[in-house]
Chains A and B, each alone.
Chain A
Amino acid sequence: SAVISQKPSRDICQRGTSLTIQCQVDSQVTMMFWYRQQPGQSLTLIATANQGSEATYESGFVIDKFPISRPNLTFSTLTVSNMSPEDSSIYLCSGGAGGLVGYTFGSGTRLTVV
């Protein structure tokens, strides 16, 4: 299965600023997704990162706040824009071949907004 490298692993940011998180996959994958996980809670899907086109966002998430890029089949970025303390969370990417198989996850980015 694919191995996903994610960076940064953690960051502390000032409110009003933006942070871009990167995920690099060691092989081409059809599907990539971005999740948010509050400490001790479940994973909430933010969006599907579509290669070469706009991401597909879940209810409650918008492109202006969480712009996503996916220029090729091995790389994606998530930007958290105009951050507020409520954006403090762990952000994870995941990816895989798609279809009826499991996806692997990146190691996560722990974001703290002060």
Chain B
Amino acid sequence: GENVEQHPSTLSVQEGDSAVIKCTYSDSASNYFPWYKQELGKRPQLIIDIRSNVGEKKDQRIAVTLNKTAKHFSLHITETQPEDSAVYFCAASIPPGNQFYFGTGTSLTVIP
């Protein structure tokens, strides 16, 4: 399967600042990269995704960038709010099975 690495493992930011989480993947065949947010005791929720033919995607305060050549992608959260505090997971999907292989997770804390 795919090997996905994620950094940092923990991240603390002041409210209003930006947060960046980075992931790398190993299989160049990966073609879809979702990001999930998981609050304590809850199920992971999809927050944004990007396909391999796109370099950047934005949705309000969150954005994802993809560098296929370097095999890395990043999540950017601007104007962070306390409710952004959670664990964030990146993932990569390989055709044809479309399984998701997850990174190790980043625990984000937004300090009010």
Contact = CB atoms under 8 A, between A and B. Distances in A.
Interface in B68-97: 89, 93, 97
A94 B42 CA distance: 14
Interface string A3-45: 0000000000000000000000000000101000000011111
B105 A104 contact: no
A92 B43 contact: yes
A90 B37 CA distance: 17
A107 interface: yes
A102 interface: yes
A45 B93 CA distance: 12
Interface size, A (range)? 20 to 34
Interface in B21-58: 31-32, 34, 42-46, 49, 51
A58 interface: yes
Contact of A108 (B43, B46, B101): B43
Given A41-B105, A42-B105, A102-B34, A31 B98 contact: yes
A52 interface: no
B1 A45 contact: yes
Nearest to B100: A103
Interface of A: 1, 31, 33, 41-45, 48, 56, 58-59, 92, 94, 98-108
Interface of B: 1, 31-32, 34, 42-46, 49, 51, 89, 93, 97-105
8 contacts: A31-B98, A33-B100, A42-B105, A43-B100, A45-B99, A45-B101, A101-B49, A102-B34
